[in-house]
Structures are given as structure tokens and as C-alpha cells.
Structure 1
Amino acid sequence: MKLTRRNALRSATGALLLPLGGSIQAQPDSRSSSVFGHGVASGDPDEQSFVIWTRISRLAAEGSVDWEVATDSAFRTVVSSGRSVASPRRDYTVKVLVAGLRPGMRYYYRFHHGSEASAIGRARTLPLGELSSLTLAVASCSNYPFGHFNAYDAIAEDEQIDWVLHLGDYIYEYGVDGYGAASGAAIGREHEPRHEIVTLGDYRERHAQYKSDPQSQRMHAAHSLLAIWDDHEVTNNPWTDGAENHQPEEEGPWAARREAALRAYFEWMPVRDPAPGHSLADYWRHWRFGSLASLITLETRHSGRAEQIEYADYRATLTDADSVEGFLRDVVGAPDRPMLSPAMENFLRDALTESAELGRPWKLLGNQIPMARTHHPRFSADVLAELQDMVEGDSAARLEAFVGAGNLGLPLYLDPWDGYPVARQKLYSLSAECGVRDLLVLTGDSHSFWSNRLFDDAGKSMGIELGTTGITSPGDFKAFGSRASELVDEALAATNDEIAWTDGRHNGYLRLSLTPDAATAEFLAVDQVTRPSYAMETLRTERISHEAGDLVSL
């Protein structure tokens, strides 16, 4: 179903959005002060507080910033106000935890520096007591060079949304010659700084670039953020002691790079700072939505993960069914390969137990990486012949290797939960011990939409996984071409029992609406990201309900 908007709309900051032939042209707000050139943001709420954020973009020394929170957009009823300091120690960012608020309320906030005012933002506290409905936008993988943040703009205009859940890869670490280089050069969205980011100054500059984007600013002003990082906020595929995209001999100690990246994250994101004495890496949350839902985010990158297994190290030995079985059992399935830290597991146990005991119908996991069992697809002879006719050059060699891995029955990737099957079963067992076998897992990272069914090692249902695609990052098989990528999606679903449907050909976001009786998942796509104008399409709508303690798709 195509969605068009025929009337002129205004963003949360007042910028006029003009329809162009049924699509939307996003225009920056010319009235915004360059003092607040990185916009405003809010997030990380509880029932009586939330964080508000901005940055003073023209300071060379410390300066004061006034802020106020009101129940109305005209600020006739101000309920909280104060003064903060923008300091070079925090890169001139200003982050305020506003407390003493009423549960389940929408508020408006703004900042002042001298005679200049910021854009007005909206924020919400979490509800208490009975709650009849909740709608989340679920987003992931916003890579600046790959395109305009049209999906962010669509989220800003979506008045159904109560909060935005961002599952990570909010920024990317690569330089202008890295991932996304050709696209960034073609559309004039190359990364700043131009080199791969490693130092604190680098990470700050990259966050500043992303926060300068007008569509990102529009989303942040319109909705409060519930955020968890993935890998690219630091670098590709990290574990506790290193990362695939970190070379100590050239880029220095891993611990120093990670510390710099996480420090910049806490400076630039509307999230609560760690309590004194707590590690920056121990970042997880339990957001409670009254009687309706719990949302628990998982930290799967920096606090507990064992090193990833790389196919390249074993490819020569994976020649037949027996060698693959031994590899998956003894190497990938080794018992000493955790994903979650003991502290993360204890937090998850407490949160699930509370949710089950209070009878909340929805137990949501905010999960960066795909959880469902996903093996390389197998193709029929006819489909393979069609694919081979369409794919040429480097893609043809990649397709050949892809087909070979499918014939061997290998998992698609080993960085997600498929690379940590013992840890995945441990999560399922922990959940079952808490009386929870109806998880609704919300997943990012893969640049694809997913609708998956989850089962433990004994074949018992553990719930449903809904995956969101990239805001701009392309699906891994998009280079094959549209029709070939579609055939891969279809083969993934046909090959894997846990996959009901997938789409890696579009960018967009997932809109999830909950009531006590059912959930509705809408997979929403933008038609393109090479220009800041777009049309929306609903690719799929799925309704989910409880049945005999399990989640079922209606």
C-alpha cells in the first residue's frame, strides 16, 4: 500500500514540508539558531523523569545554557527549569535529567543561550497503571554516506508513535574510503572526519556530523529516544578484548579506543550517564510501560561477548557434512563462548521475573543482532539458473561461494546469535525459568526486515522476532540486483524453519503497536534514500496474539 501526503505538513520544529507529486520534500528550518546547530533530543525516560539534550555549537569556552520544560508548546505552564554549563570537557553538549514529572505525560522543552532559543522538542514520561495501547518506531543502522535519513523524517511525522527504539549503529566508524564510500561521494554525504574514527576527538566529530542532519534533528525533536548501541558506535564486530575492525599496531590499544567511543556516545546521546563507579560498557535498560509491556535491552557487544568465529579461518576444512557438523558442534558450539555478561544476565532475570509476576502481556527484548536460526539458503535448480543469469562480475563469484555455503548447511553469519548457540540457549533457558516463553524480540543490525519464529534446542516455542531494516544501510544482497535479492529473500524463508518472511531490499522502519490482546507490526519502507524526498510503502502488516502461553501470528 502506497502512502502519499497531499497536504503541506510541519515538522516538530516548525519547518514546512512540501509534497512533491505525492512524496515529501524535507526542508531545514531556516529559523533555527546556529548556536543550536545540532538540534535537541530527549530520551531514556522513567515514570517521573527523562533526559533532554542539546549542544552549543559556537562556544570556545564554558558558557551557561538555560532550559525549561512545559506542559504546552507555548510554554505558558512551565513545570521545570534551570541552568546548565556547556563545557569543553563534554564537547559543549548539555544533558539534563529532568525529574519530578507526572507519569504518562507529554511535555515540551527548549534551551536558551543568551538571546537565542533552540528548537522546541517533545518528550514523554513512562506511564503507570493500566495502559490500553503503546506504539513504538523501531529503527537501526543509520549510515550517513549511504543516503538521506528519510525514514527518520517519516518517523518524525508519524503521530501514532509514542517512543522511538533505536537498536544501534546510530553512527558508523569508517572513513571516506570505507563502507559506503561510492554512495557518499555520489550524493555528497561523505563522512567527517574523512579518516576512520579512533580518538575521542574523532568520535565527537562523527557524532556532530550525524546530529547536524536536519531529518535526524526532526525525529529527535518529535519523539523521545529509547536507545541501545550495536557495534559501529565503536567499530565493526567487537568483543570484550578487540574487534574485527581494530588493528592495535596502527590504531593503538583496544581499551583506549572503546573508552573514547563510549565516552562520546554518552556525551552526544540523550541517555542517562552511568552511576559513579560503573563501567561505560554496562549499558542496559528495563523500560516499564504500565500494565502493558516491559522492554529490556540487551548489551551484546562490550561487556560479555567472546570473540567471533571467522569462516575464513576454517573454510579450507569445511568440505562435507561431517566436517561442518564437527565445526558447528566443537568450534561454534563450544560451551565457553558467552554473549551476555553475568551482570547482564542477572538484570534480564530480574526484569523478566518482575514482568511475569505483574502479568504484563508483552515482554519485549531490545536486541541488536538476529536471534533466529538462519542458515545460508538452498536454491532449486531453476532459481539458481535464474540467479546466475542475472549476477555478473564480482557478484557472480560471491554468489558461487554463497551457494556452496548453502549446500553445506552453514549459518548465514557467525557474528549474530547463530555464532553463539550455547549462549542463545542459555538466554532461552533463563527466560523459561522466569516463566516467560512468549518473548517478542525486536532486532536490528542486519539491514533487513524479518518476521521470525523462535524455538529452543528442544523445539519449544520461545516467541517471535521482528527485525527492522536499515534507515539507510543497504541489505547485504542488494548488490545482486532487485530481482536476485528478492529470490535470495524467498530462499532464506523457504530454507529456514524459523523465518516466516524477510525483505532486505528496502530501507525504512518497523512500527509496532501493542494492546493487551494483540500486537500489530507494520514494516514501513521509503522508496529511496539518494535524495531528501520520498514516498512511503507498507510492505507487510502482521498481527500477533497470545495463545496458550505462546505468541502466534494471526
Structure 2
Amino acid sequence: MPYRISRRKALAGLSATAALPLVGCAGFARQSGNSSAFAHGVASGDPDERSVVLWTRISTERRTATGKWIVTEDAEHRRVVKRGAFSTDRSRDMTVKLVVDGLEPGKTYYYSFKYKGQNSPVGRTRTLPTGSPGKLGIALASCSNYPFGYFNAYETIALDPGVDFVVHLGDYIYEYGPDGYGGQSGVALGREHRPRRETVTLKDYRQRHAQYKADPQSQMMHAAHPLIAIWDDHESTDNPWREGANNHQQETEGDWVSRRERSLQAYFEWMPLREPAAGMDRAQYWRHYQFGDLASLVTLETRHTARDEQFDYEQFRELLQTGEGIAEFLQQHLNAPGRHLLAPEMEAFLETALRESVTAGQPWRIIGNQVPMARSYIPALTDEQFAQLALDESHPLYDEARTFSALGPARLPLFLDAWDGYPWARERFYQLCRNAGARDLLVVTGDSHAFWQNQLFDEADKPMGLELGTTGITSPGAFASLGDAGAAMMDGLIAAGSPEVLWTEGLTRGYVRLTLAPTEATVDYVGVSTVKERDYKPVNVRQTRILREGAQLRYA
């Protein structure tokens, strides 16, 4: 679809914090030339101060391929910095992944690939800065379910002049088949998942990644900005834990560990990230990125290396019928010690990284986190409020709504799959941060398909920092089926009944732009007017600022 100048003007006016000029990123992201060999575009990511990962795929071959790559200082490839040859084969699904080093810190570069006379699109990337960067723009993305709609938010990120890096917080792909989550929407929009089944085999996962990378708006984002990515659950399957997953049936889908390894192999093949370091396996995927003396970003792994099995209220239905049963659930199950989310190796890595950041005097310590960390409670609905939801017994959410309504007065967690389902692990995480001298965390979170503006406290009610949650790129909010009015009412009730939640909004699809400066940060909650049509407009949902006061952070 041709890019509209009106969209560029609308985007440029979203925030006064824009850090980059609107260069021709749309142009070089869309240009294809004679690049049928590069049907899955180009991407870059996992940067450090001197190197970055470049990625593409040879889409016209099935066995082997050898070609060339180039890195320059300009989009026209006149000022060459690096060049070389690549090779790939079927063992990597014909994907190409290079770590290009010897680059300068904090600098923008342009790159492309060539195969049998065919040129890939030109991508733009950058290295991490050293010294004292005056400003840093990060786009926070999550939950990009292909059948639910167009990746209009990806296109908006690609064209956003205030974005330097994209941090994808998980659910980059979804595993479902046509009868699963989003299936009906996919039929209506002509965006059905491929293959037309749940992803189980290595071939399935590869084909699903290929479908997402073939999307033109996804290609725009990847060509425009380097990616820092962590996975959540759907890159493998819904709600995995150390020994299984909610959406894995061993009787028909085989061994869980084998399936997980196949999903991780495809993820490492199809994403612009470095291979595991010596002595680590693919599941041990965590990183520490340093942006000069301005910020530090540590990404967590909470799915495959340590997570104990999630609880579900349904399994405790009988116990939760009485006050005594609720107390037993809280004491003996939910708050039981030893329920882990982070592996010991992850904890040691995190503590070391935080100590380095504190010692370096960086003002921002960012935690890249999959699932909500702040405490949020099931709303205590009155009969009048329940009636306003207009849920009759034929509504698919009627039984669930009645159950949750009954649990609301007990102040039970809204999400048992999030950190709320692991209070011991959350307090252990906070203690680790305190040990490192960090009680000023800026946690960035995906998963929930909603925007969040949260504050964080430990069990002693001591402040631990702030949390920013980003909504889904396409995945709908938890209360979408209640209609706009019903969903807005639920968002308001959650914020009113959860002291750590200052604001939440699950109606809009989009992303968060976090702009860091030495003494303050600006947070823009950026939406798109629709994901059901390719024609859309950016929407300014909310803006807030974060200030530092001594050793603490607060919203302005």
C-alpha cells in the first residue's frame, strides 16, 4: 500500500520528543528492486557498542546459497565500511545471520545483501552509544498476532522519528491453528495462519516465522530499526513452564522438551540475535545492554529455565468457595516459598549487571520483562456494575465473569500467569535488586495486551521503581468482548482497586515510546486507529514524564 504523506505528518506531530529526522526509512524499507530472493526482508539486532547482528533469508533456494553483504555510512552505499561474503544452507532454513564487528559506537549504518544479481532491501541499523548520549528513544512492542489484524503499529514504529531501538517484549509470533485464538479474525481479514495447524514441528515453526517476516509492515520496522528481543510464551506455545505448557498435549504432540527445543531453534534461526555463548543453551537467553552513561537494559528469561507451573483459579474452584478456603489458597499455594520464575544463573547475571549500572552512576536501570510485575487485583464488581456489562447467560464470558466477580472482594490477583502468581519469586527478585543497590527500577512489560502505568513496592511497602506496560501490536485486550464501554469500565475498576496501578487502558493497539534523557524520561503511549484495515492513523493515547528524586523515580 502506498505510504501517505498525511500519515507522515500525523506521526511527526505525535510528540515533541522526536530525536531523529524523518529520513527515507519508508523508502528504503519498502524498496525491493530485483529482490525476489529476499522475500522475507532484512533485519538487524542484538547490538553492542562495536557490533550488530544482520539477518536475511534466501527465499528462492532450498539447499545452499552463497552471496555478499555490505555495510555503509549512507543509504546509497557510497561510503563503504565493511563488506564480505555469506553462505547458508537448509540446516538453517536458508536464513543468513552475521555478526558485523569493528563498528563505531553510537553510529547509524546501512546494510544490504546480494545474491545472484539480486539486491535485498536496504536496512538501517545502529550500534549502542558510549560516553554521554543526550537522548535515547526506545519503542516497546509486544503481542503481534498475525490473524488479529494488520501490523499498523509496526509501520508506525518504522516511521517514528523518535525511535532509536525497538525492544520486543515477547509473543512475536503465535502458535495457534485456524481453530485457535484469532482464527475467526484471520478468516475475516484474509490473514489466516500458515501452516493451517498449530505449530508443533520444526517445519511448522519455521513456516510460521516465515509468514510473519513476509509481512510488509513487519519488514518496514525491521529495516528501519535494530531489534532487541525477548520471548514470552507463544513463541513456543501458550503458558509454558519448566516441564510443560498449558497448550501442549503430550499424548498427541509428543515430548514437551523436544517441542520447546524445536521452537527455540526456529526462533534463533529467524531472529536477528546472537547465538548462545559458550557453555549456555538456547533457553538461557538473557542480555545486558549498556547505553553509555545514560541507561542499562537487562532482559529476563521467565518461561523455560526456571518457571514452576502456573496456577489457575479453576483448579481451586471448590477451595475458593469460602473465606477459610481462600485463606488456605493464599497461604499454602499462592504465597508458598520456592515458586520460581528466574533461574539461579539468570539471577546472578542480573545482580552483576545491576551492580555495574549502579557503580557507573547510570540514571536509568531498565528491566526487559515479559509479564506484568505490579500487583493488580480482580475488580470487586457491584451488582449494578455487573449489570452494566450486559452479560446474559448466553455470553461466552458469563460464567467466568460470575466467578471473578465473586472473587473480587478477596483481593485476589488478576493474572496468575504474571508475577502476581509468584509472590515469593517477585520478593526474591526485589531483594536481589536491593542487594545490588537498585531500588529505582524501570520495568518494561508486555503480554497483557494493555497499556499500564504502574508503581512497584516490595512486601515491606518500600518503593522499588516504576513499570510501563505496552499493549498488543494486534492482540486484543482482555476485556475486548465486553465492548468499549465495558472494557473501559473494567480498566477503571482495576486501577481504582489496585494501589500499584495508576492507569491502564486495553482498548487501543499500539506501542510505547520511551525517551530517556539524563534527568527525566518521557513516555508516549502511541496507538493506531485500527488494525482491521490497512488504512489507519496514529493516535496519541497518553503522555507522562518520569523524574528522578534522589534514589527514587516518580511520575510527573
Pair in the same fold by TM > 0.5: yes
**Mean alpha-carbon deviation: is it higher for 390-399 or for 94-103?**
390-399
In structure 2, the CA distance between the partners of 1:391 and 1:153, relative to structure 1 (3 Å rule), is farther
Listed as ranges, the gaps of 5+ residues in structure 2 are 1-5, 12-21
Displacement, 1:275?
2.1
CA–CA separation in structure 2 for the residues paired with 1:54 and 1:307: 36
Displacement, 1:241?
0.9
Displacement, 1:132?
1.3
Retained in 2: the 8 A contact 1:66–1:82?
yes
In structure 2, the CA distance between the partners of 1:47 and 1:318, relative to structure 1 (3 Å rule), is same
Query: Residues 357-396 of structure 1: matches in 2 within 5 Å?
Result: 357-388=359-390, 393-396=395-398
In structure 2, the CA distance between the partners of 1:6 and 1:291, relative to structure 1 (3 Å rule), is closer
User: Which residue in 2 is equivalent to 1:72?
Assistant: 74
CA–CA separation in structure 2 for the residues paired with 1:137 and 1:323: 44
Normalized against structure 1, the TM-score is what? 0.95
Deviation digits for residues 278-307 of structure 1 (CA, Å, limit 9, x no counterpart): 211000000000000000000000011111
CA–CA separation in structure 1 for the residues paired with 2:533 and 2:52: 34
Alignment partner of 1:310 is 2:312: yes
CA–CA separation in structure 1 for the residues paired with 2:394 and 2:94: 50
CA–CA separation in structure 2 for the residues paired with 1:10 and 1:349: 39
Find the partner of 2:527 among 519, 525, 528: 525
User: Which residue in 1 is equivalent to 2:451?
Assistant: 449
User: Which residue in 1 is equivalent to 2:110?
Assistant: 108
In structure 2, the CA distance between the partners of 1:152 and 1:69, relative to structure 1 (3 Å rule), is same
Find the partner of 2:324 among 322, 325, 336: 322
CA–CA separation in structure 2 for the residues paired with 1:226 and 1:131: 19
Displacement, 1:75?
1.1
CA–CA separation in structure 1 for the residues paired with 2:456 and 2:391: 35
- Match of 2:321, SS state, is coil
Find the partner of 1:82 among 79, 84, 87: 84
CA–CA separation in structure 1 for the residues paired with 2:152 and 2:374: 28
**Mean alpha-carbon deviation: is it higher for 401-410 or for 239-248?**
401-410
Deviation digits for residues 303-352 of structure 1 (CA, Å, limit 9, x no counterpart): 11111112221111102333212212210111121100000000000000
User: Which residue in 1 is equivalent to 2:463?
Assistant: 461
Deviation digits for residues 152-184 of structure 1 (CA, Å, limit 9, x no counterpart): 000000011000000010000000111101100
Retained in 1: the 8 A contact 2:28–2:123?
no
Query: Residues 211-360 of structure 1: matches in 2 within 5 Å?
Result: 211-360=213-362
- Match of 1:51, SS state, is strand
Alignment partner of 1:126 is 2:148: no
Find the partner of 2:46 among 44, 47, 53: 44
Retained in 1: the 8 A contact 2:367–2:441?
yes
CA–CA separation in structure 2 for the residues paired with 1:230 and 1:60: 30
Which residue identity lines up with residue 237 of structure 2 in the other structure?
T
CA–CA separation in structure 2 for the residues paired with 1:30 and 1:358: 44
User: Which residue in 1 is equivalent to 2:16?
Assistant: none
CA–CA separation in structure 2 for the residues paired with 1:62 and 1:435: 51
Cα RMSD of the aligned pairs, angstroms, is 1.7
Deviation digits for residues 95-129 of structure 1 (CA, Å, limit 9, x no counterpart): 00000000000000000001110000001000111
Alignment partner of 1:12 is 2:25: yes
CA–CA separation in structure 2 for the residues paired with 1:474 and 1:392: 21
Identity %, equivalent residues:
52
Displacement, 1:4?
5.2
Alignment partner of 1:427 is 2:429: yes
Deviation digits for residues 185-224 of structure 1 (CA, Å, limit 9, x no counterpart): 0000000000100111110000000000000000000000
- Match of 1:286, SS state, is strand
Retained in 1: the 8 A contact 2:31–2:122?
no
CA–CA separation in structure 1 for the residues paired with 2:393 and 2:133: 51
CA–CA separation in structure 2 for the residues paired with 1:68 and 1:382: 64
Displacement, 1:130?
1.2
Deviation digits for residues 504-526 of structure 1 (CA, Å, limit 9, x no counterpart): 11100000001111111111111
Displacement, 1:380?
4.2
In structure 2, the CA distance between the partners of 1:72 and 1:404, relative to structure 1 (3 Å rule), is same
Deviation digits for residues 5-29 of structure 1 (CA, Å, limit 9, x no counterpart): 459998635279xxxxxxxxxxx65
User: Which residue in 2 is equivalent to 1:25?
Assistant: none
In structure 2, the CA distance between the partners of 1:234 and 1:281, relative to structure 1 (3 Å rule), is same
Which residue identity lines up with residue 64 of structure 1 in the other structure?
T
Find the partner of 2:211 among 188, 209, 212: 209
CA–CA separation in structure 2 for the residues paired with 1:198 and 1:394: 28
CA–CA separation in structure 2 for the residues paired with 1:391 and 1:499: 31
- Match of 2:25, SS state, is coil
Which residue identity lines up with residue 536 of structure 1 in the other structure?
P
Displacement, 1:548?
3.0
CA–CA separation in structure 2 for the residues paired with 1:32 and 1:387: 54
- Match of 2:125, SS state, is strand
Retained in 2: the 8 A contact 1:12–1:120?
no
- Match of 2:345, SS state, is helix
Query: Residues 405-420 of structure 1: matches in 2 within 5 Å?
Result: 405-420=407-422
Find the partner of 2:191 among 189, 199, 209: 189
CA–CA separation in structure 2 for the residues paired with 1:381 and 1:551: 39
Retained in 2: the 8 A contact 1:32–1:119?
no
In structure 2, the CA distance between the partners of 1:201 and 1:243, relative to structure 1 (3 Å rule), is same
- Match of 2:27, SS state, is coil
Retained in 2: the 8 A contact 1:137–1:165?
yes
Q: Aligned residue pairs: how many?
A: 541
User: Which residue in 2 is equivalent to 1:19?
Assistant: none
Which residue identity lines up with residue 169 of structure 1 in the other structure?
D
CA–CA separation in structure 2 for the residues paired with 1:48 and 1:10: 24
Retained in 1: the 8 A contact 2:10–2:538?
no
Which residue identity lines up with residue 234 of structure 1 in the other structure?
S
Which residue identity lines up with residue 187 of structure 2 in the other structure?
A
Listed as ranges, the gaps of 5+ residues in structure 1 are 17-27
In structure 2, the CA distance between the partners of 1:30 and 1:40, relative to structure 1 (3 Å rule), is closer
Which residue identity lines up with residue 152 of structure 2 in the other structure?
N
Which residue identity lines up with residue 340 of structure 1 in the other structure?
L
In structure 2, the CA distance between the partners of 1:5 and 1:124, relative to structure 1 (3 Å rule), is closer
Displacement, 1:398?
3.2
Displacement, 1:30?
5.9
User: Which residue in 2 is equivalent to 1:534?
Assistant: 536
CA–CA separation in structure 1 for the residues paired with 2:83 and 2:335: 54
Which residue identity lines up with residue 232 of structure 1 in the other structure?
H
Which residue identity lines up with residue 422 of structure 1 in the other structure?
W
Displacement, 1:381?
4.8
User: Which residue in 2 is equivalent to 1:440?
Assistant: 442
Which residue identity lines up with residue 27 of structure 2 in the other structure?
G
- Match of 2:221, SS state, is helix
CA–CA separation in structure 2 for the residues paired with 1:495 and 1:352: 32
- Match of 1:331, SS state, is helix
User: Which residue in 2 is equivalent to 1:53?
Assistant: 55
Which residue identity lines up with residue 280 of structure 1 in the other structure?
R
CA–CA separation in structure 2 for the residues paired with 1:421 and 1:13: 45
Deviation digits for residues 494-552 of structure 1 (CA, Å, limit 9, x no counterpart): 01000000001110000000111111111111111011121111111110111131111
**Mean alpha-carbon deviation: is it higher for 76-85 or for 363-372?**
76-85
Retained in 2: the 8 A contact 1:11–1:218?
no
Retained in 2: the 8 A contact 1:391–1:481?
no
